[in-house]
Amino acid sequence: MKFSANLGLLWTDRSLPDAIRAAKTAGFDAVECHWPYVVPTSETVAALEETGLTMLGLNTSRGDVAAGENGLAALPGRGTEARAAVDAAIVYAAATGTRNIHVMAGFSEGREARDTYIANIEYACDAAAAHGVTILIEPLNRYDAPGYFLTTTTQAADIIKTVGAGNLKLMFDCYHVQLMEGDVSHRLERLMPQIGHIQIAAVPDRGAPDHGELDYRHILGVLHDLGWDAPIGAEYKPGGDTDASLGWLDDLRAPLG
């Protein structure tokens, strides 16, 4: 299996370019990030070219972080800002060769929120298609993100079907899915045609994927049997020095059997 370092949580004590270099040194096959916008694209591109790594994904802006916002796409009345966030993400992704954009929904609920979200996702898919970029939507669990609009894979699958865009996929984060729904193996099997990226972390503490409720050796075996060959995102909290948390990497990369 191949793995991608999520630089939103790993090596956060370093600049994004230096975190990319650290991921290469640690043996990761790719990288992904959360909100890279303060870093000039030229610096990110230079680090990617130097290391030979690909940037798999980035997130749209959360909005007013000081006010507690965590995305804009499902917030009625915020369409102009939500679409501006999509546009900014596409510009950054196109410049850095990033393949996926996670459009963050935000804290909202109800029919109006759903209609707003679908309209903004349709906009994102149309705008991203010209650049060969895939739009991802990700359910977040109610413990870490209470009140978030998108919380289950069932809800996400319904929205993907409703929008009907070829470049709209599910971000399947095993950590969030286990906390909200469980039955991760069967959900991976059932949803595989709609999945665009997969992430892992221990449950319930979101630490390194070498302990907790989920046996990732088993999960990776399921993915192997399903033919998944893209890098899997390591989006976990290292609880200190990132390098000291990487004992799992060689263990999970070892051949299954």
Average pLDDT over residues 10-28: 98
Q: Which position among 43, 49, 112, 235 bears the catalytic label?
A: 235
Q: Which position among 109, 112, 138, 181 bears the catalytic label?
A: 138
Say what the pLDDT of residue 168 is: 98
Total residue count of the chain as it appears in this document: 257
Say what the pLDDT of residue 28 is: 98
Q: Would you place residue 49 in the very low, low, confident or very high pLDDT band (cuts 50, 70, 90)?
A: very high
Say what the pLDDT of residue 243 is: 97
**Beta-strand runs (E) in the chain:** 3-6, 30-32, 57-59, 100-102, 134-137, 168-173, 195-200, 232-234
Could you tell me the pTM of the whole model?
Answer: 0.96
194 lies in which domain range?
3-253
> pLDDT per residue over 205-244, tens digit each?
999 999 999 999 999 999 999 999 999 999 999 999 999 9
Q: Is the per-residue pLDDT at 3 higher than 90?
A: yes
Rounded alpha-carbon distances, angstroms, from residue 103 to 120, 157, 197, 219: 9, 15, 13, 26
Tally of domains in the chain? 1
Q: Is the per-residue pLDDT at 115 higher than 60?
A: yes
Q: Would you place residue 105 in the very low, low, confident or very high pLDDT band (cuts 50, 70, 90)?
A: very high
Q: How many helices (H) and strands (E) does the chain have?
A: 9, 8
> pLDDT per residue over 158-213, tens digit each?
999 999 999 999 999 999 999 999 999 999 999 999 999 999 999 999 999 999 99
Q: Would you place residue 253 in the very low, low, confident or very high pLDDT band (cuts 50, 70, 90)?
A: confident
Say what the pLDDT of residue 255 is: 64
Is 32 tagged catalytic?
Answer: no
Is 181 tagged catalytic?
Answer: no
CATH number at residue 102: 3.20.20.150
Average pLDDT over residues 14-26: 98
